[in-house]
Amino acid sequence: MKCPLCNRELDKTADLHHLVPKSKKGKETVRLHKVCHNKIHSLFDEKILDKHYNTIEKLLENDDIQRFVNWIKKKPIDYNDKSIMANSHSWKRHI
């Protein structure tokens, strides 16, 4: 099975991402690499995810996500960048 965000093979540490946040009563999930999941949440708050980025297709249209995918696709499947979440609370994109 492949990560729908970066299209690399998933490993056993895959996370479940709610396309619509649980706080917004979302139930549908997709399996993502932990680093891919962390990147999404480092860029967008739940309100933005709910209204604008509630599908993989919509996420992939975002320039920041595209840059991330182009970068991460060259990394091993078990790569985890701890700095992504360390910086996640310093800013989030608002539309």
CA–CA gap between residue 68 and residue 17 (Å, rounded): 17
pLDDT at position 90 over 50 = no
pLDDT at position 68 over 50 = yes
Residue with tokens 């680093």: 35
**Residue type at position 43:** L
**Residue type at position 68:** F
Residues 10-54 have pLDDT tens digits of 988 899 999 999 999 999 999 999 999 999 999 999 999 999 999
Say what the pLDDT of residue 83 is. Answer: 66
